[in-house]
Amino acid sequence: MIERDKRFIYTIAFIYSVVIIVIVSIPAYFYIDIEKSSYKQLQMKELERYASGVEKEIYDFSSSQNNTFDFPRSFVYETYLYDKSKRQIFSTSSKTIPLNRFDSKEEILYKKIVLNPNRMNIEYLLITRQFSYEEIYRKAFAAMLFLGAVIFLLAIFFIKIIIHPLEKANRYLNSFFNDAMHELKTPLGIIQLNMEILKEKRDSKELQRLFNSVQNIALIYEDIEYLIKHKHVDYRPEQIDFSAFLQERVKYFSDLAKIKDIKIDENITPDVNIFINRIELQRLIDNTLSNAIKYSDKNVHISVDLLKEDDVLLLIIEDKGCGIKDTSSIFIRYYRENSIKGGFGIGLSIVKNICDKNNITVSVESSINIGTTFTYKFQIS
C-alpha cells in the first residue's frame, strides 16, 4: 500500500472516531451530570457522618469527668468551633474563617450544626472539606480516550478489511502494468531503431508520419514508466550540461514538428550546468515541448529559450496554439482541457511533481487563440 493510501485510511478512521465520540458525548454529558450529583451527595453523606461523630465526642466529653478533650483530627476534614457571638474559638487548621462565609456557594462542602449546651460553651460546630469534580472529569477523560482509541483501531481494522479486495486487485494491476511495460520496451526500441534506419535510407511523408507516431508512443511509454516507478525508484540528481541536453531534446522534437510545418526557434545560453536527475529533466522538457507542438497551429514558430540570470535559470517554452482556458487545472492528473487532441492527462501532472520535488517554480501564461508560455525557474545553487 502506498503512503498516500495509508494516510487516507488513517484520516478516514480519525474522522469516523471523532464523529462517533461526538455522538457518544451527548448522552455522556448527561451521564456525567448525574454522576456529579451522585458524587456530591456521597461526599456530603460522608461529611455528615464525620460531623455527627465529632458532635457525639463533644457531648461525650461534656458528660464525662475528664478535664482534657482530645479533639479528633482528619487529613480530609477541617473543623471550626464558634461561641454564641459566632466568634471562632478553635479550628483544626491555622485559618480564621467567619461563620457566615459558608452561606455562599463555593467549591467547599460544609456541615453547620447548632450544638446543645456543653461544658466548652461551643454554640456552632462547622465541618468543611475541599470539593471538586476533578476525579470525575479525569475518569471521564480516560474513558473517552480509551473509547476513542478502541473506535480508531476498529475503524482501521474494518476499513482495511473492506479495501483488502481493492488492494489485491491494485497489486495485480500494478504487476500487470510492470510486466506489460517490460514486454513493450524491447519491441518499441527495435521499432524506433529500424524506423531511424529506414528514415535515413528513404525520406517520405508516409515514413515521416510513421516515425512521428513511434516517437509519440515512446513519449507516452516513458511517461507511464515514470508514473509507475517514481514512487519506489530513487531518481538521484547529477551534474548535467543543461544547454547540450536541451539542444538534444529540441533536435529530437524537430522531426515531430516537421509534420505540422512547425519550426522550433532556439535561444539557448551555452555551457549552463545544473544539478538534477536526467530522467526527470527529460520528462519536464519532453512533456512541455510535445504539448507545444500538439496544440500549436500549422506553419508557426515555437520558441525555446534558456536564459541565465544571476543564480536563476529560466527555461521558457512558448507555443502559438489554441491557448488554455483554465491554467490552474492543467497540472491535475487526468485533466484534459481538449479531449479531441487526445492524451491521458498525465504529462503535466508528472511535470508538476518533478517541479515540486526539485524546487522548480513553474508559471503559465496563456491567451485564447494566441498561445501559451511555460516558464520554469531553476535555482542554480
DSSP string, 297-316: PSS-EEEEEEEEETTEEEEE
Higher-pLDDT residue of 7, 305: 305
DSSP assigned state of 117: P
Residue 334 C-alpha cell reads as 487526468
Q: Characterize 162-200 residue by residue with b for buried, 16 or more Cβ atoms within 10 angstroms of its Cβ, and e for exposed.
A: ebeeeeeeeeeeeeeeeeeeeeeeeebeebeeebeeeee
d(CA 277, CA 240): 8
> pTM of the full predicted structure?
0.54
d(CA 283, CA 291): 12
SS3 state at 71: coil
- CATH superfamily for 236-379 is Histidine kinase-like ATPase, C-terminal domain (3.30.565.10)
Cα 239 to chain centroid, rounded = 34
**CA atoms within 13 A of residue 7's CA, in its CB half-sphere:** 3
Provide the pLDDT confidence category of residue 1 given band limits of 50, 70 and 90. Answer: very low
DSSP assigned state of 84: T
Could you read off the pLDDT of 10-69 as tens digits, one per residue? 777 778 777 877 787 788 778 788 888 888 889 899 999 999 999 999 888 888 888 888
Cα 218 to chain centroid, rounded = 36
**What CA–CA distances, in Å, run from 192 to 187, 215, 347?**
9, 7, 21
DSSP assigned state of 378: E
Higher-pLDDT residue of 24, 245: 245
In the chain, where does the domain assigned CATH 3.30.565.10 lie? 236-379
**What CA–CA distances, in Å, run from 218 to 75, 193, 287?**
85, 12, 12
Return mean pLDDT, the chain. 82
Residue 190 C-alpha cell reads as 527495435
Could you read off the pLDDT of 312-362 as tens digits, one per residue? 899 999 998 888 887 778 888 766 655 545 555 678 888 898 899 899 999
| Total residue count of the chain as it appears in this document | 381
d(CA 40, CA 20): 30
Closest CA to 341 of 292, 285, 295: 295
DSSP H helices, the chain, are 3-62, 134-201, 205-229, 242-258, 278-295, 347-357
